[in-house]
Amino acid sequence: MNDFGRIEKRLKELPGNISFYYHNLITGEHFQYRAEEKLMAASVIKLYIMAAAFQQIAEGKLNPDQLISTRREDFVPSCGAVAYLHEGLEVTVRDLITLMIIFSDNTATNILIDLMGEDQINERIRSLGFRDVWLRRKMFDLEKSRQGIQNLITAEETGMLFQKLYESRLAGEKEDAQMLEILKCQQLNGKIPFYLKAAVPEPDIAHKTGEDEGITHDVGIIYGEEPFVVCFCGNETDTPGFERLMAEVSLELYQEVLQRKGRM
């Protein structure tokens, strides 16, 4: 069994608002630390936008092959690729979802928010069973950010989202499998996967990061003989220190399974 007391001690040593959620998807072993606290979401909110989009796809209300032409006024800085490409680029809804997740593309995210509607996305989030998660503004909306209007998540509900995905209980069996495949293609791999990339065997990891000033998150499923959910969420914290802990704890949790199975 995992030494969660030691993990909790390390979490408590970090400054700021730290949350952690662990759930073994085979054995049911579970541990959480302040996981119910609402935190500023950064790019983890994109998970819920993806879930809302795939729910609409499952219902036939959103066409994943619909072509969208990018406009200069849609372009926002920072994460992603779309804003660095030419205006008028045609991409499908599925392309936008993929870019939003694997490159955390802010422009793709905002186009999807405009396409589905902020209120409608929040209604979808509620219908999926999440009560403390809120989309309250688009990406890189500096005016609303200055007013203190932030998107919100909890580690607990994000962990539940991944469990529902794994068990095909979110948008539909086909749609949930597609979301997991997108998440496995994540290109931002400096947190949970950092040490796991050198593990033998190297596990698949379906995950999504989030970061901003003083904010760092990484949440997802680490696969193997006993896949498990881990959600590391931090606001107003020592981001390098927390990210080191994410990498170390993720490796330790994975190795514990291997040791128990006699693979190490």
C-alpha–C-alpha distance, residues 113 and 169, integer Å: 23
The pLDDT-based confidence of 264 (bands split at 50, 70, 90) is low
Query: What's the pLDDT tens digit per position in 1-39?
Result: 678 999 999 999 999 999 999 999 999 999 999 999 999
Asked, as a colleague might, if the bond just before 201 is cis with ω within 30 of 0, I would say yes
Q: What is the mean pLDDT of the chain?
A: 96
CB atoms within 10 A of CB 64: 16
Of 264, 255, 211, residue with least CA distance to 236 = 211
Residue ranges covered by each domain of the chain: 4-259
203 forms beta bridges with: none
CATH fold of 4-259 reads Beta-lactamase (3.40.710)
Tokens of residue 194, six digits: 């950092």
Give 173-196 pLDDT, tens digit per residue.
Answer: 999 999 999 999 999 999 999 999
The CA distances from residue 200 to 64, 76, 196, 205, 262, in Å, are: 36, 39, 8, 14, 13
Average pLDDT rounded to a whole number, residues 105-120: 97
